[in-house]
Structure 1
Amino acid sequence: MILPLAVDYPYENKPWATIGLVTANVLIFFLTFGLSDSQLAPFFLWPDRFAPWQWWTSGFLHAGFLHLGGNMLFLWVYGRYVEERIGPARFLLLYALFAPIESGVYILANLGSDMPAIGASGVISALMGVVIAAGPRSRVKTLIWWGPMLRVLPINAGLILGFWLLEQIAMVMVGVDGIAFSSHLGGFAAGAGMGLLMRYKLGGGWRMPEHLQSREDVDARAKTMFYGDLAGYLRRGREAQDRPGASHIPEWLGSSPAVQDPYEEEMLKRWDKR
């Protein structure tokens, strides 16, 4: 068994939007627990008798405790991360936008079918797509339970979500029934597209942190900071030499210290080769 526990990130804000969505799903589950399928049928997503509100209502209905629990775990792990990156208002807007997209894919893939779909997994798959596209180098704390082995390991988001995607495709190919894989794949694709847009096109609060951006961008900023610090270091050294009684200061302070420190020398060599 492999379960995600958290995306590794220095969280600073309470994920109120994610908490609200999880709470709403749990409350709706218990409020509708005793109702029959016929009573809830108008809120299912039906390919053969579609109504617009079903895009959103179907995502708040679940078939049982395992269905609800699994979806809420994934919503908490990936929703919390996306909300932290873009803020609660934008997060809720994305959530509302992804719902009709993944629902539409399910309807197109099952035209004329009388098999309804329920559950939040399609939208959650979209959030997973955002994470793998916008922050592929982030790490996911993952519970791995395999026989006697029970461990929590940090796993690259691109690896664990890529494995999940391949698993979904494999299940479609072998014809597994009872799960809306088209909804999962459609949502994931929509989320990945939005994640790429967040990473490369939009600025401000949508930009990913330094450790999730391209290595070239990070190195360029680090180079600027390093040279700025080095210039100040040299200036202070020369000023110290000019003061009376400073003859004890090593001579290299006024020459070329960048090649005196092996670490700095290696950094400069690497950057100069770019």
Structure 2
Amino acid sequence: MVIPVHDVNPVQRTPYVTYALIAINFAVFLFTPGIAGSVTGDSGVSQLCHLQAFLERYAAVPQELIHHQMPRLVPTGEVGIGPQGPGCVAAPPDYDKSPPLSVLTAMFLHGSWLHLLGNMLFLLIFGNNIEDRMGHVRFTLFYVACGYVAGYGFALLNDDSGDPLIGASGAIAGVLGAYLVLYPKARVWVLVPFLVFLPLRLPAWIVLGFWFALQAVYSSGGAVSTAGTVAYAAHVVGFLAGMLLAWPLRPGTPPPPAPRSLLWGRQARHTW
């Protein structure tokens, strides 16, 4: 797995929407009950019960999206003592939930610091160029559309699942798909784990193509959607949606700067 750290692809306008999305994701995470107090996302029983109740209300659930089957009992956030020890109390929901709206709210929920930081890193590196090409308003609509396509695509493939689906990964996968279509030759600095982290500058089509191939392979082995696992199928659907939506913009997209060398940042030398 390669870790992107920077792309060599300057922008003409400030990516306000990208910055705003990152800020909102961090703000929501910090106010998510029971999760932001730990670097790993691990918490005690009380915090876990608050988190489960919060996700049940605001996360997207495939059964609810496809069949509109609302659960009869949901976690309340309270802790009770049962035969097996402390556990989360469940009761009939005292709120109305809109399944379509839950897809939007789920885009701003994350299960751990690692989940959040990984998503925001990809959005920061690749989102600014897509916003620069599309403009602020179109990029906002594009981002939300990819998130919805990814969420409902995953739900269709897992329509019997009652587990919450959270994270910005589906929408960000759409950004990656658009980047592959619009800037396949842009150079991306990545860290490749090989004994140590080896810095390389690779074409975007290699970096993003490899990322997509991994998601496709993982999703073929069964996709999951709990807060502690990864919904690979949502990544695949979101990536393909981003490619399709960005395809009409290819003809007028200016090429990225020509690299001075294939892998490294130094000026190439010609020898005889």
TM-score, length of structure 1 as denominator length: 0.70
Name the one with the larger strand percent. 2
Q: CA separation in 2, counterparts of 1:186 and 1:169?
A: 10
- Superposition pairs of residues 208-247 of structure 1, within 5 angstroms: 208-211=253-256
Query: Greater helix percent: which structure?
Result: 1
Paired with 1:171 and 1:40, the residues of 2 have a C-alpha distance of 25
Q: Distance in 2 between matches of 1:39 and 1:25?
A: 16
8 A contact 1:2–1:142 mirrored in 2: yes
Tell me, yes or no, if structure 1 residue 39 matches structure 2 residue 90.
no
**1:171 counterpart (218, 226, 247):** 218
Give 1:182's match in structure 2, choosing from 214, 233, 236: 233
Distance in 2, matches of 1:7 and 1:45, equals 32
Shift in Å at residue 37 of structure 1? 1.2
Q: Which protein shows a greater Rg? A: 1
Question: Quick one: distance in 1 between partners of 2:64 and 2:203?
Answer: 42
When the two chains are superposed, the root-mean-square deviation of aligned CA atoms in Å is 1.7
Aligned equivalents of 2:223, 2:168: Cα separation in 1 = 19
In structure 1, what residue type is equivalent to 2:151?
S
Q: Which amino acid aligns with 2:54?
A: Q
Q: Where in structure 1 do 4 or more consecutive aligned residues deviate above 4 Å? A: none
For the 8 Å contact 1:60–1:120, the answer to whether it is kept is yes
1:160 aligned residue: 207
Paired residues in the alignment total: 205
Alpha-carbon distance in structure 2 between the residues aligned to 1:210 and 1:174: 37
Quote how far apart the aligned CAs of 1:211 are: 4.9
Query: Is the Cα–Cα contact under 8 Å of residues 45 and 116 in structure 1 kept in the other structure?
Result: yes
**How big is the shift at 1:29?**
0.2
Identical residues among aligned pairs (%) = 32
Q: Give the alignment's TM-score, normalised by structure 2.
A: 0.71
Task: Give per-residue Cα distances to partners, 1:165-209, cap 9 Å, x unaligned.
Answer: 111122123346432111101101100112211114xxxxxx211
Unaligned runs of 5+ in 1: 201-206, 213-274
Judge conservation of contact 2:55–2:164 (CA < 8 Å) in 1. Answer: no
Q: Following the alignment from structure 1 to structure 2, what is the Cα–Cα distance between the partners of residues 210 and 156?
A: 13
Q: Which residues of structure 2 form unaligned runs of 5+?
A: 35-49, 66-98, 258-272
Aligned partner of 2:115 in structure 1 is 67
Instruction: Name the CA distance, whole Å, in 2 between partners of 1:210 and 1:124.
Output: 22
Please name the residue that 1:27 is paired with.
Answer: 27
The code of the aligned residue for 2:199 comes to V
The 8 Å contact of residues 132 and 195 in structure 1, kept in 2 or not, is answered as no
CA contact (8 A) 1:102 1:187 kept: yes
SS at match of 2:201: strand
The separation in 2 between residues aligned to 1:143 and 1:74, in whole angstroms, is: 13
Question: Secondary structure at the residue paired with 1:98?
Answer: helix
Post-superposition Cα deviations, 1:39-60, rounded to whole Å, max 9, x if no partner, equal: 3312111111231101210010
Aligned to 2:160: 112
CA deviation profile, 1:80-100 (whole Å, cap 9, x unmatched): 121122222221121122121
AA aligned opposite 2:136 = P
29-38 or 97-106, which deviates more: 29-38
Other-structure match for 2:195? 147
Task: Classify 1:12/1:152 alpha carbon distance in 2 versus 1 (closer, same or farther; 3 Å).
Answer: farther
Give a deviation string over 1:245-272, Cα, whole Å, max 9, x none: xxxxxxxxxxxxxxxxxxxxxxxxxxxx
Seen in structure 2, the aligned counterparts of structure 1 residues 25 and 211 have a Cα distance that, compared at 3 Å, is closer
Alpha-carbon separation, structure 2, partners of 1:104 and 1:145: 34
The answer as to whether partners of 2:10 and 2:129 remain within 8 angstroms in 1 is no
Matched, 1:131 2:131: no
Classify the secondary structure of the residue corresponding to 2:180: helix
Q: Verify the 8 A CA contact 1:139 1:157 in the aligned structure 2.
A: yes
Q: Which range is displaced more, 96-105 or 183-192?
A: 96-105
Taking the aligned partners of 1:145 and 1:184, their CA distance within structure 2 comes to: 23
